[in-house]
Chains A and B, each alone.
Chain A
């Protein structure tokens, strides 16, 4: 290829004194060619986002600053251009797309006016010409009724529509470079697929160079021309997409790719005639929004006539997008939320008919593992107490409870001594292990895991999934596994229930659902999985 449009040489970004590292980015060198999508991949804390923001000088705080290197854009060094020139570049020659389109847009300004600002400050077009251009572009990003969108406020659009509007704003002045910082991470998988294909189409049409920041190798496989992998502020490997995806050289890249769960379901376990432990029938839950005096509240049926069966030792995956009701269902089954109607039979007893006050003996049989490793442990208490508390409530003697805590910690792969420490001293993955230990403390028969790995980095995610599988097999647990990630579901679940708008639209053995989906929606979900055409190489080690 010809000369790069952007060349970063030996970039250093320093962190304020007292941080855990001195530099967030250390000696990163990158080139972006015109008309290519370069994916910058890394786990949280790798410095990928800061690298991208350094290009246009948008550091998150004045204490985080660029302390060395060059950023060459055309024949200018962006580190030394004047503030006025930088403003000229931003939005017209280099533009950005952010992760969370809701917070990235001003809530008090219409979409049209926010986009209009870009043309207003960079060109001398008349209002009429500007509006024409914007409406045309809104049509280009496939927004329905562009004129209406122009006058709408951000909260009136869906997440996908907002991101389309952001893309329109970024492409408005035909910039040479678009920096997209995790632009699809906050979106549902079907919306993500649409946005990715839209970006790719528009990129080809306008010959833009895109620097695409992401943590998700599936997304990378979907759109990257070239890939750069970062770890702890350093660049570990750069190369053509096919080479990195299929024959990564660096051990870190290899381990990252090995940790991506395959879309091909794992070998089915001997299943079949184990007794049914949990049976749900006709489960319903509606939410009513609005208070005492709001007469015309709206009813949202979060869970509609759900029925499913969970056998002893089986793992049932519940997959769906946000708002599908999968989490509500988990909360109904654990009776964290009261159902409106239906039956939940545990070993034949309908636990919905048990008065709340007499739930205790049933509660211990169904335990939960939560999504957010930071919110799921009370920061005020030591780990030992957090795990022992449930046992003590259920009448286990104090000393025995704490002895059991030590066994449990070892069971989940932690040192028994960590019982004396507070939750904030642990990493996300370790916290999730503590959460699993707590759930196991009451010797449950069923584990309900609500997105237990979706807040974790991919390498940690693989370890926690492995731990859950080991424990399930060792203790012959049944598991209800809620996830939005079909790759994870393929590797963990024996059977799968697909939910949409509160209903289960498809229910069957994992292999069958993946190989031969019956419902259109299941097919759409499977088609939307990023990187579905890419089979991560099973590398040795």
Chain B
């Protein structure tokens, strides 16, 4: 673990990513203290320019942009995290079963995975949220439903390779149960790619969420970055900052998570670096 951290911290961009990410997390935690009032409440005149009373200005209705960004951080991070967890759970179960058992189980599960990879994922997510009516839960489910195939394919690949490893055969040879082999022998050996994929997936999930709420499919009860950009686009000509700052928040957060994910990857696979 110590050595892992050492390898990770040698990667400057990964550390920078981690710092940005920590800042975003802190912002999310501190939002209720920094901006105690509801981010939807009208606090001033509409379209006040940045630094003139409000740090990042106000939007078309006179809501505080900075407060919206602070409160939106929590929503983005939580949706990203939970959608990823659900997608991982589905993906690991399906990938593990396909890779371990092979044969017709593998065939059937992989056809299913390919089907989900074929259908246009964002459009599918839009449909799901529209049908289930927009809410945090429906958004999490929709993102998970379109994201799991990546995990399933990865886990299947790892399982397929590890399944043929001799140490797994030795376990079969002493009569170990399938469940025990899957969970205690194979899964721990493919954790590192799963963690890396998972962390990159949080970033993608945040992007999908922002796209959905930009189109007006966000949870109407919570402030989110995508919604702020969407609401500001009508005043693009006169008040660029209403769109610009929430977009930068998304960009920085996603960038930070990607950097951390890549740092993890390099730290897990020290041989691949410096090539």
Contact = CB atoms under 8 A, between A and B. Distances in A.
Chain A directly contacts chain B within the complex, with at least one CB pair under 8 Å = yes
Interface string B28-47: 00000000000000000000
Given A375-B167, A376-B170, 18 more contacts: A292-B111, A331-B169, A334-B173, A363-B174, A367-B173, A368-B173, A378-B168, A378-B189, A380-B189, A386-B167, A389-B174, A393-B175, A393-B176, A394-B174, A394-B175, A435-B170, A439-B170, A442-B174
B165 interface: yes
Contacts of A371: 166
A363 B185 contact: no
B169 A368 contact: yes
Nearest to B188: A380
A331 B104 CA distance: 21
Interface string B167-196: 111111111100000000100110000000
Question: Interface SS of chain B: helix, strand, loop or mixed?
Answer: helix
A378 B167 contact: yes
Given A376-B166, A377-B167, A438-B170, A363 B111 contact: no
Nearest to A450: B166
A484 interface: no
Contact of A336 (B108, B169, B176, B189): B169
A395 B111 CA distance: 41
A364 B175 contact: yes
Contacts of B188: 380
A293 to B, nearest CB: 8
B169 A370 contact: yes
For B108, B167, B185, which residue has the most chain A Cβ atoms within 10 angstroms? B167
B166 A363 contact: no
For A367, A393, A442, which residue has the most chain B Cβ atoms within 10 angstroms? A393
Nearest to A377: B167
Question: Interface SS of chain A: helix, strand, loop or mixed?
Answer: loop
B65 to A, nearest CB: 49
B82 to A, nearest CB: 28
Contacts of A379: 189
Interface in A337-390: 359-360, 363-364, 366-368, 370-372, 375-380, 386, 389-390
Nearest to B177: A393
Contacts of A144: none
A291 interface: yes
Contacts of B189: 378-380
A368 B175 CA distance: 12
B174 A375 contact: no
Contacts of B167: 375-378, 386
B107 A292 contact: yes
Contacts of B166: 370-372, 375-376
Contacts of A435: 170
Given A378-B189, A380-B189, A370 B170 contact: yes
B107 A291 contact: yes
Contacts of A334: 173
Interface size classification for chain A: 20 to 34
Interface of B: 104, 107-108, 111, 165-176, 185, 188-189
Contacts of B185: 378
A364 B175 CA distance: 8
A378 B166 CA distance: 9
17 contacts: A292-B104, A292-B108, A292-B111, A336-B172, A366-B173, A367-B174, A368-B173, A370-B166, A370-B169, A371-B166, A376-B166, A376-B167, A378-B167, A378-B185, A379-B189, A380-B189, A389-B176
Contacts of A375: 165-167
A531 B108 CA distance: 52
B248 to A, nearest CB: 40
A408 B107 CA distance: 43
Interface string A83-114: 00000000000000000000000000000000
B174 A393 contact: yes
A379 B185 CA distance: 10
A458 to B, nearest CB: 22
Contacts of A393: 174-176
Contacts of B165: 375-376
Nearest to A63: B274
Nearest to A331: B169
B273 to A, nearest CB: 12
Contacts of A390: 174-176
Nearest to A357: B177
A363 B168 CA distance: 14
Contacts of B172: 336
Nearest to B171: A389
Nearest to A448: B173
Nearest to A380: B188
B125 to A, nearest CB: 28
Contacts of A372: 166
Interface string A378-422: 111000001001100110000000000000000000000000000
Interface in A110-124: none
Contacts of B108: 292
A467 to B, nearest CB: 18
Contact of A364 (B107, B168, B174): B174
A435 B108 CA distance: 36
A375 B186 CA distance: 12
A394 B171 CA distance: 12
Contacts of A386: 167
B107 A368 contact: no
Contacts of A439: 170
B140 to A, nearest CB: 32
Contacts of B173: 334, 336, 363, 366-368
A394 B176 CA distance: 9
